[in-house]
Structure 1
Amino acid sequence: MPLEVYLKAARNATHVTNASGDVVFVGIDDKSISEVGSWPWKRSTQARLIEQASKAGAKSIHLDIVYDGPSTRSEDAKFSEALKQSGRVVLADRHLLGTWGNFKQPETRPLPQFRKHARTASISTVYDFGGIIWNTSLSGEIDGKEVPTFAASLADIRGVPNRQFWIDYSINPESIPFLPAADLLNGRFAAGSFTGKHLVIGLDADQLGDRFWIPGWGKMAGANVQILAAETLKRGMPSSLGAAPGMILAFLAALVATLATRPRRIAPLALALAFLILLAGPLVLEHFYLSAEVVPGLLLVSIVSGRLSYLRYKSRARVHEQTGLPNFAALRTSGKIDRALVLAKIHNHAEISSSLSEAEQQDAYRQVVARLSAGDRNDLHQGDDGTFAWTVANGAPIGNHLEALHAMFRSPVQVAGRQIDVALTFGVELGVSRTLPNRIGSAVLAADEAWSEGLRWKLHDPARQEEVNWRVSLLGELDQAIDQGEVWLAYQPQLDIKSGRIIGAEALARWTHPLKGPISPSEFVAAAETNGRIGKLTDFVLDRAISSGAAINRRRIDFQVAVNLSARLLIDRELYARIETMLSAHGLPPSRLTLELTETASLQDADSGLASLCALRDLGVRIAIDDYGTGLSTLDYLKKIPASEIKIDQSFVKSMRVNRSDLIMVQSTIALAHSLGRSVVAEGVEDQQCLDELSQMGCDVAQGFAIGRPMGVRELVQRLQIRTARRAA
């Protein structure tokens, strides 16, 4: 109802018209009360109103005031005489009319002595929850007789069968001619202004009540409603079609939208058209004085539109935009997750997406889909990262089929005159008892492994699932292990070959897992570096190593501590400050710390990385190139890195006695390093013979099992003290 009211008021505002001027409202307003006195006035005063209106030539005088009770005898006599002399007065009565619930307006009639000299007309009305009178009638029954309403009387309608009609509130009530009652009493009006016109005399002051809401105009006197109803009848007889036409239209639109063969195009068009007709249609109908309730129809259209939009959203959420194929969300509800899962992965998907326009991408993937669908396959699903999946019956010969599919991709796809190579492998997952997301992840992993191993397809091995789970949780557990003291440092001694003295040690991170036991450093250190999580581990190793090195040097033992540094950390602007703070906090001279830069790791930002190394060198920290010979071994690299030390990788040292090439590599590296003014550390020295050969070559420092295995700091201190005592003896 409220929405219907607002829509009707909005429509009225689009075609406002003025009243005819045939009906004049004489209002007992605040001005009149101020001049004449408080209401009710004496009936002799009201009789003067009738006399003045009659003299002015009014066609009729409608008193919108109920005279159902007596006043004084003399006053009533004067009023009765005025009615008799005028002969054109219409008095107000009320017929029985229901409103809300069981409430009935009481039937009221003017006094019999007044009815003898005047006609009567009903002012009974029904108003809604907002105090708005939308409809009225042509007549009402009083004492068994049909009595016209004020509206019918003012419109000069007689003898017409009674019917309800709606009031046209597009007529501007402010255009109704108005005269204060005091002005009528005192003759303050233009001559001839009332000739041949109907007058309505009624209350028009807030303090007197009898006020109603007029849609679009605000609260006004009840007489205005009666006059607007009469103005409506002067223009025609309004009829109401009710809610049925709107509901029928909405139902037909809903039927078309839900049963259309092409719902994506037809449904929005049908529903939008129905919505527009329901909004604009009443404007056309009201031009012919027909009205219709449209909110029920609008509600039905809105519900159907919302439901179809939701279903379309769910459908689009399960369809890939490029190809229109169902996506992996649709696969979850396909009811086929108890079958073997096959996944195809395009490994150069990013390159294809970045080099082709959207239309070209669609063309390329249509060709991919056509090849994957060979053999009348119609259950293909597409992911967002160049993956496609489908299911096959358990026990089906998958291998031969995948080999044949892979062969189809040896020839490129043709897009806009270009040949686009599609690098694709397949992963197969048979673990039907697992959830679909887990199975898809396993199939992707199998496809990746097939790619890295040079295979066309690979079956996911369930036995490796525990290893996969461990790799996923490794980094998170490593952070906790550092905080909980599970990570500790081992120190591998370094021997000065010429003096035969232990001059330092390399700090090596070790992790003892409470359940898995010792974790290989090659596993957790590499994972941390690859995934950008090496910072916390490096800070931990640096702090512990610097602390241990400072403690050993305080025992008057000249001792160098070496720590591995990932090239990835050189772009960390806070690295220099953290190292300087650690050295100062533990009291270790910077010259006693060696940072070993892994030679196999390239500098991500060459300028920034070299600047960081130079700053550390200027601080006094020694820089060493670690694992020399296994990666970026170029003269330009050696020239740029401000290193004072080169460490030959153990793979060359261990095999130099059986492989002449490795021997030459070790010899040339020592000679090259010395020519550049840098010392040489040989890793992997496992026996005395190897140590002797390195001594003959002029190597400076040796590190390996022949010197000492990695040990805890206490064991290292004890060994250093024993060697110092022997030298003293």
Structure 2
Amino acid sequence: MSFGWLAPLLLALGACWAAATRKSAGQVGSILLSAVLLLLFAPVGLESALIFVDVTPALFAVIVVSTVLALRRWKQRGLVNTVSGLPNLSALKANKAGRDKALIAARVLNYAEIAAALPPEQERQLVDQIVSRLRVGAPDRTLYEGDGGIFAWFEEPELPFANHIEALYALFRNPARVEGQSIDLAISFGVEIGSGRSLTNRLASSLVAAEEAAHDGLKWKYYDPEALEDASWKLSILSQLDSAVDKGEVWVAYQPKFDLKQRKIVGAEALARWTHPEKGPIAASEFIAAAEQHDRIGKLTDFVLEQAISAAAIVNRKHPGFGIAVNLSARLLTDRSLVLRLGAMMARHHLSPDLLTLELTETAELAGSGAAFDMLSSLRDLGVTIAIDDYGTGLSTLDYLKKIPASEIKIDQSFVKTILDNRSDLVMVQSTIALAHSLGRKVVAEGVEHQGVLDALVDMGCDVAQGYIIGRPMSIDSLTKRLSADRRSSVA
């Protein structure tokens, strides 16, 4: 008796359907392997009973389906997070339907720290709790998970999802519990509404927004399209700065320093300014910090020193004893040629070294000993004055003060501005003045903006004040006119 090929084929197709509906790779393999073994060995038994079947079409069907399922699973394996089973960020980037939707990214800020302390099975429990919270109010939401506690999903751009994100943020105030252990989760959200860019770029933008939200202490933040322009600007700022110095875009402003005993301007601090032809004035904190961080501060400092020494020499022809102060990065204390260049500048402009003050901010570079202290000693031997800038914000210890060969201490404006309202700052300023004087050092208070603060500094015995009430940073011409006017008024 012959049953032909239809019965085995129907059996094979049933097995293939059962395998295709299973999610577990183990179950799929077991079903298909059982079907193959059955098709191979069952005909042997049937032939002994004179029953004949043709299993060739059935075997072919199983092989084809097995190949398709294997390829599909192999492809999906690269699109699934191995810990949670959620689609990963590669799957998100491949989702063409998300191009017209808003993209929201959530970053669990302390995820790496937590995951490092958990075994794999407990990490899976943690992820499940995070996912369950992110799906509150939207149980069918497709979440994508990346490494390091990154989650993302798409939303319709017209939906008012701001309140929803804030509600999700509130959920994470409650700690997660894994195996009875309470775990605090810190999270931030970033939103990219849709800009026509690739999903890869949009995902990066939403993650940047989440990082900025965390940095600014916010629950969530929109991605700012102008951030791309700012990022491009920051990448090129150093090369543009070098060029700006050569083109004359960088100039030096001078902020007066007022002697509280003589009641007159006795000097000024030289401050670098950059007026970009397209962006206008660039904040000094932006370009100076970038130059310092990337060891490109040397050229800018040499330019400011040259300009400041030249200006001081010109002013001293009419107003003898006028001093000039210039900020010096501690990174330059390893530049062995600095002393020679500085000496040459003062000789070229005929400025006495005692009229130049180099202000150094308290930094780790000055905390130890060695080359930095040798350089400071060489500068002091040259005759220039060394000042500790921004005193109170860095390494303000007695040992530090003893080591640094400084003749002047400049109290940071964050303390000076609030001495009338904050007793702690008042005591800080008073004690600093007393300590400096006991060590034979002069004290300069910066950030003086009100008459009451100026009067209080006089009562404390402070030596010099600097701030808006004395004068804002100005050109050398304006400063010279100011000095001449003050001199005429004092004579009158």
Tell me whether 1:352 sits opposite 2:111 in the alignment. no
What is the CA deviation profile of residues 666-698 of structure 1, one whole-angstrom value per residue up to 9, with x for unaligned ones?
433322210122210122345778656644543
8 Å Cα contact 2:436/2:442 also seen in 1: yes
**244, 247, 258: which one pairs with 1:484?**
244
Distance change (3 Å), C-alpha of 1:469 and 1:432: closer
Q: Distance in 2 between matches of 1:686 and 1:412?
A: 47
Corresponding position of 2:443 = 680
Q: Cα distance, 1:389 vs. partner?
A: 0.6
Q: Distance in 2 between matches of 1:418 and 1:713?
A: 66
Corresponding position of 1:324 = 85
Secondary structure of the equivalent of 1:336? helix
Q: Distance in 2 between matches of 1:406 and 1:581?
A: 59
Unmatched 5+ stretches in structure 1: 1-251, 272-300
Q: Cα distance, 1:647 vs. partner?
A: 1.2
Q: Distance in 1 between matches of 2:118 and 2:405?
A: 45
Larger Rg: 1
**190, 212, 222: which one pairs with 1:427?**
190
- Over the residues paired in the alignment, what is the CA RMSD in angstroms? 4.6
What is the CA deviation profile of residues 546-566 of structure 1, one whole-angstrom value per residue up to 9, with x for unaligned ones?
223443566675554433345
8 Å Cα contact 1:475/1:528 also seen in 2: no
Q: Distance in 2 between matches of 1:672 and 1:638?
A: 10
Q: Distance in 1 between matches of 2:459 and 2:173?
A: 57
Distance change (3 Å), C-alpha of 1:623 and 1:659: same
8 Å Cα contact 2:447/2:468 also seen in 1: yes
Q: Distance in 1 between matches of 2:353 and 2:204?
A: 49
Q: Distance in 1 between matches of 2:431 and 2:282?
A: 36
Counting only pairs closer than 5 Å after superposition, residues 239-254 of structure 1 correspond to structure 2 as none
**360, 375, 379: which one pairs with 1:597?**
360
Q: Distance in 1 between matches of 2:211 and 2:305?
A: 42
Q: Distance in 1 between matches of 2:414 and 2:181?
A: 47
TM-score, L = length of structure 2: 0.69
Q: Cα distance, 1:512 vs. partner?
A: 0.8
Tell me whether 1:614 sits opposite 2:373 in the alignment. yes
Q: Distance in 2 between matches of 1:540 and 1:526?
A: 14
Q: Distance in 1 between matches of 2:24 and 2:371?
A: 64
Corresponding position of 1:545 = 304
Secondary structure of the equivalent of 1:710? coil
8 Å Cα contact 1:650/1:683 also seen in 2: yes
Corresponding position of 2:407 = 644
Distance change (3 Å), C-alpha of 1:687 and 1:361: closer
Q: Distance in 2 between matches of 1:493 and 1:697?
A: 21
Paired AA for residue 326 in structure 1: P
Paired AA for residue 683 in structure 1: E
Secondary structure of the equivalent of 1:447? helix
8 Å Cα contact 2:312/2:324 also seen in 1: no
Select between 519-528 and 309-318 the one with higher mean Cα deviation. Answer: 309-318
8 Å Cα contact 1:541/1:563 also seen in 2: no
Corresponding position of 2:45 = none
Distance change (3 Å), C-alpha of 1:686 and 1:378: closer
Corresponding position of 2:234 = 474
Q: Cα distance, 1:510 vs. partner?
A: 1.1
Counting only pairs closer than 5 Å after superposition, residues 247-326 of structure 1 correspond to structure 2 as 315-326=76-87
Distance change (3 Å), C-alpha of 1:693 and 1:325: closer
Q: Distance in 2 between matches of 1:649 and 1:723?
A: 27
Q: Cα distance, 1:506 vs. partner?
A: 1.6
Q: Distance in 2 between matches of 1:433 and 1:501?
A: 61
Corresponding position of 1:580 = 339
Counting only pairs closer than 5 Å after superposition, residues 333-348 of structure 1 correspond to structure 2 as 333-334=94-95, 335-348=97-110
8 Å Cα contact 2:327/2:358 also seen in 1: yes
Q: Cα distance, 1:380 vs. partner?
A: 0.9
TM-score, L = length of structure 1: 0.49
Corresponding position of 2:272 = 509
Distance change (3 Å), C-alpha of 1:524 and 1:312: farther
Secondary structure of the equivalent of 1:620? helix
Counting only pairs closer than 5 Å after superposition, residues 76-225 of structure 1 correspond to structure 2 as none
Distance change (3 Å), C-alpha of 1:348 and 1:658: closer
8 Å Cα contact 1:345/1:444 also seen in 2: yes
Secondary structure of the equivalent of 1:389? strand
What is the CA deviation profile of residues 541-590 of structure 1, one whole-angstrom value per residue up to 9, with x for unaligned ones?
420232234435666755544333456x3xx7x73325334314424676
Tell me whether 1:387 sits opposite 2:150 in the alignment. yes
8 Å Cα contact 2:212/2:221 also seen in 1: no
Corresponding position of 1:20 = none
What is the CA deviation profile of residues 350-405 of structure 1, one whole-angstrom value per residue up to 9, with x for unaligned ones?
32244345555444334433443455335111123321011123444535544554
8 Å Cα contact 2:377/2:405 also seen in 1: no
8 Å Cα contact 1:560/1:592 also seen in 2: yes
Distance change (3 Å), C-alpha of 1:431 and 1:724: same
**210, 225, 245: which one pairs with 1:465?**
225
Q: Which has the higher contact order (CA 8 A, sep 6+)?
A: 2
Quick one: percent identity of the two aligned structures? 47
8 Å Cα contact 2:309/2:324 also seen in 1: no
Secondary structure of the equivalent of 2:336? helix
Q: Distance in 1 between matches of 2:445 and 2:366?
A: 29
Q: Distance in 2 between matches of 1:696 and 1:504?
A: 22
Paired AA for residue 483 in structure 1: S
8 Å Cα contact 1:546/1:582 also seen in 2: no
Secondary structure of the equivalent of 2:271? strand
Q: Distance in 2 between matches of 1:634 and 1:651?
A: 18
What is the CA deviation profile of residues 448-467 of structure 1, one whole-angstrom value per residue up to 9, with x for unaligned ones?
34434555x4351x6x4325
Task: Name the structure where helix makes up a greater proportion of residues.
Answer: 2
Paired AA for residue 579 in structure 1: L
8 Å Cα contact 2:102/2:157 also seen in 1: yes
Q: Distance in 2 between matches of 1:616 and 1:728?
A: 43
Secondary structure of the equivalent of 2:139? coil
Secondary structure of the equivalent of 1:330? helix
Q: Distance in 2 between matches of 1:543 and 1:446?
A: 38
Distance change (3 Å), C-alpha of 1:459 and 1:593: same
What is the CA deviation profile of residues 118-174 of structure 1, one whole-angstrom value per residue up to 9, with x for unaligned ones?
xxxxxxxxxxxxxxxxxxxxxxxxxxxxxxxxxxxxxxxxxxxxxxxxxxxxxxxxx
